A and B are shown apart, each in its own frame.
Chain A
Amino acid sequence: MSARDAILAQLSRATPATLRPAAVAPAPVNGGSAVKIRRFAAGLQAASATFAVVSGPAAVPGAIAAYLAANSLPLRICPGEVPAAVDLRNAAQLEYGADRLPDDGGTLVTGCLAALAEEGVVVLASGTRQVAADAFLAATHIVIVESGQLLDGMDDLWPVLRQGPLPRSLHLIRGPSRTADLGVPSRLGAHGPLRVHVILVEPAYVECADPGDT
C-alpha cells in the first residue's frame, strides 16, 4: 500500500463532525469611506507603516518625492506594476531607475490587488509584471492603493479573489519586515523592507483631508 493510501485509510476512521451553524462575528460595520480610511491609517500605523492620501493619480509622483525627501532617501525609484493612471516615467520630481533593484535594496513602487482597512494590510499578487520577489528585497516599498481597492477587511477579500483566476501567490503585507528575535522592541527590516509607505488615491480626498483626525 502506498503511503497515500495508508494515510487516507487511517483518516477514514474519523468520525465526521458537522459544522454547527454558528453566528460568525460580523465584521465591523462600514461607516463610510472616511471611517474606513481612518481605520486603514490606524492599522498601518500600528504595523509601523506610514500613510498618505492624495486626491488623484497625478498627485502620486509628488507624494512619492515628498516621502523620499522626508526620509532623506534618494529620489531614485524602481517601479513595479503601478496603476495605469499613475505616470511615474515622466514625473519630473523622480529619477526613474532601472527595472532591477540595486544591490543595497533601493526603493520599489508598486500598486496592489487590494487593501484591507481593518487589518492595515496591502495585498500583492504575483503576475507577469509584478516584481513579486522585489517586494521582499527592496529597502523601501511604496504601495499605491486606488480608492476602489480599499476593502473593509479580510472577509471582503475572498469574494474578490473568486472573481478572477487565482494568482500563483498572494501576499498580505502588514508593514515592514520585523523580528522579535533580538529582544524587545521588535527590530524592523529583518529580511524584507525596512519601510512600507502606502499612498491612497482618493478623489474624495477633500472630505477626509486629515485621516488621522478623529
Chain B
Amino acid sequence: MDSRDFPAQAAAALEQPTLQRSLAAMRTAMPGLRATALAGLPDYPALRARARDMRDASIGSLGELLRAYEARVIAAGGTVHWARNAEEACRIVGELCDAAGARRVIKSKSMVTEEIGLNDSLQRRGLQVTETDLGEYIIQLRGERPSHILAPALHLGLADVAATFEQHHRRPRAEPLREAEDMLAEARAELRAAFLGADVGITGANFLVAETGAAVIVTNEGNADLSMTLPATHIVVTGIEKVVPTLEDLGVLLRLLARSAIGEPLSAYTTLVHGPRRPGDAAGPRAFHVVLVDNGRSSLLGTTQQPLLRCIRCSACLNHCPVYTSVGGHAYGSVYSGPIGAALTPALTGIAAAAHLPNASTLCGRCEDVCPVAIPIPDILRHWRSQALAARIGTGPERPGLRAWRYLAAHPWLYGRVLALAARVLRLLSVPAGARRRLRGLGSLGRGWFAWRDLPAPDGETFQERWRRRRLRQRGA
C-alpha cells in the first residue's frame, strides 16, 4: 500500500463489503456518542479553548518541558533516550532489548512505533514481538497495517478473525470458531501466555507530564498495564510533542480524549507510570526507559503546520470524515490515515510521496469542527496542495487547466464570453430529461464528472449576458 495509489486503493475499498459495513456502523454511531459525551461537560467550548491554548503553550516550550520531564524520570531511576529519526529510535530500542538479554517482546498498541517501523526492526534482530491490543494482534498475525488509529482491525469482520485464529493458533478445535466470545477467550489465553513469558514490554504514551515525570497510557483492554507491569524491562516509545506541564493540564486532555474518541468520560484504564519498581514494590519492571522520538516533529515548529503538534490522536476527525468513512484507512497507504493522516503524512514523508492525501478531501471542515484541540486541518491541507502545485507534483490534469483558468478569471470580459460559449454548447448537447434537460457525457472530456453523474443542462446563456442585454434595452427605451 502506497499513498501514490490512493485513487485505485480508494476505489477498491468502496467494493469491500466487510469494510463498508464497519464504516457504516462507525458513521452512524460515533457522531452521536461523541456529541452526547461532550454535552455532559459543563462547558465544552471553554475546555476546548483551554486545551488548544495549553497545547500551544507547551509546544512553545517543548525543550524546557522535556528537560523537566527527563530530570523527573532520572530521579525516579529511569533512563531517557532521544531519537532524531525512526532509524535512531529503532536502534535504541533494539540495543535496550539486547542489553536486557531479551528474546520475547510484548507491545501495547502505539502509533509512534508503527510510524518508525519498530516491529520489523526488532524482528530483524531476531526478537519475537507480540502485539497485545486485540485488534493490533489480529492484524499482526495477518501482516497488515492498522486501518484506524484506535481500532486497527476495523476493516475485518468476525469471519476474518476466526479464519486468522484458526490458521495461527495451534490448538485442537472440535468445531470452527464462530462466536466472538470464543475468539476472545482464545486470544486472551494466547496473549496471557505471551504476557507472562515476555522479557520486555513496549508501550507508547498518550501524554507525558513534566511536573511528575509520568508517562500516561490509556487503553480499554488493560493490555498496556500488563505490558508495563509484568516484564523485567519497560520501554516507553513516544513523540516529543506529547509532554504537558502539570497534572491539571493532563486532566484537561483526559477529559477530552475519550469523549472525543469513543464517547465515554474516560477509557477503561488510564495509567500514570513514573519509573522502575521501587524497593519493596510488589510488582513492576526493574528497568524503565523512555525513548523520545522527533522524526520530523521539530521541523514543524514555527511553520503554519505547527498546530498539528497539538494532536492527541483521538480519531474524532477520522470518525467524522466523509472520505475516511467511505474508504477506510488502508486506502491512504500511510501509517496515519483520515484527516490527521492527510495533514501529517506529507510532513513525515515529504509531499512527493503523499500528494494525493491532501487532495483527497472535500475540505468540508468537519474535522476541524470536531477536533478537541481545534487543529485547522483544512488550512493545512490547502498548504500541502500549494506545496504540491509549486513542486509540479500533479494529482490530476489540474495544473495547466488551473493556469489557463486563472488567466481567464482575471479578465472578466473574456471570461464572460467563454462561460457564455460553454453554456451555449452544453445546452446544444443536452437531451430532455423530465423537468430539466441533461448531458450524459462529453466523449473523452469531463470523464471524472460523467463517470458517475449526468450534468443538469444549462439554460444556454449566462446571467450576466442576459442582465446587460436587459439593461441596454431599458436604457434604449
Contacts and interface: CB of A to CB of B under 8 A. Distances in A.
B322 interface: no
Contacts of A24: 46-47, 50, 252
A71 B359 CA distance: 55
Interface in A105-138: 118-121, 126-133, 135-137
Nearest to B248: A158
B59 interface: yes
A188 B214 CA distance: 28
A109 to B, nearest CB: 15
Interface string A137-162: 10000000000000000110010011
B63 A8 contact: yes
A212 B199 CA distance: 46
B441 to A, nearest CB: 42
B62 A14 contact: yes
B301 A14 contact: yes
Contacts of A46: 264-265
Given A14-B301, A154-B251, A169-B272, A22 B134 contact: no
Contact of A17 (B47, B57, B151, B299): B57
The interface centre, meaning the residue of B49, B83, B229 with most chain A CB atoms within 10 A of its CB, is: B229
A133 B226 contact: yes
Contacts of A174: 264-270
B278 A168 contact: yes
Contacts of A186: 220
A192 B283 contact: no
B132 to A, nearest CB: 7
A181 B180 CA distance: 10
B222 A190 contact: yes
B161 to A, nearest CB: 7
A166 interface: yes
Interface string A49-87: 000000000000000000000000000000000000000
A25 B53 CA distance: 14
B273 interface: yes
Contacts of B152: 181
A170 to B, nearest CB: 4
B153 interface: yes
A76 B54 CA distance: 49
A92 interface: no
Given A13-B301, A14-B63, A182-B161, A19 B54 contact: yes
A126 B281 contact: yes
A127 B61 CA distance: 34
A183 interface: yes
A206 interface: no
A3 interface: yes
Contacts of B222: 136, 177, 190-193
B240 A11 contact: yes
A158 B245 CA distance: 13
Interface in B233-286: 240, 246-248, 251-252, 254-255, 262, 264-278, 280-284
A136 B226 contact: yes
Interface centre among A13, A118, A136, A155 (most CB of B within 10 A): A136
A98 interface: no
Contacts of B1: none
B183 interface: yes
Given A15-B301, A19-B56, 6 more contacts: A22-B53, A128-B282, A136-B225, A168-B276, A174-B264, A182-B134
Interface of A: 2-4, 6-8, 10-20, 22-28, 43, 46-47, 118-121, 126-133, 135-137, 154-155, 158, 161-162, 166-184, 186-187, 189-193
Interface of B: 22, 25, 29, 41-44, 46-47, 49-50, 53-54, 56-57, 59-63, 66-67, 76, 82-84, 88, 132-135, 138, 151-153, 157-158, 161, 180-181, 183-184, 188, 191-192, 195, 212, 214, 220-223, 225-226, 228-230, 240, 246-248, 251-252, 254-255, 262, 264-278, 280-284, 292, 294, 298-299, 301-302
6 contacts: A3-B84, A3-B88, A128-B282, A162-B247, A166-B212, A171-B271
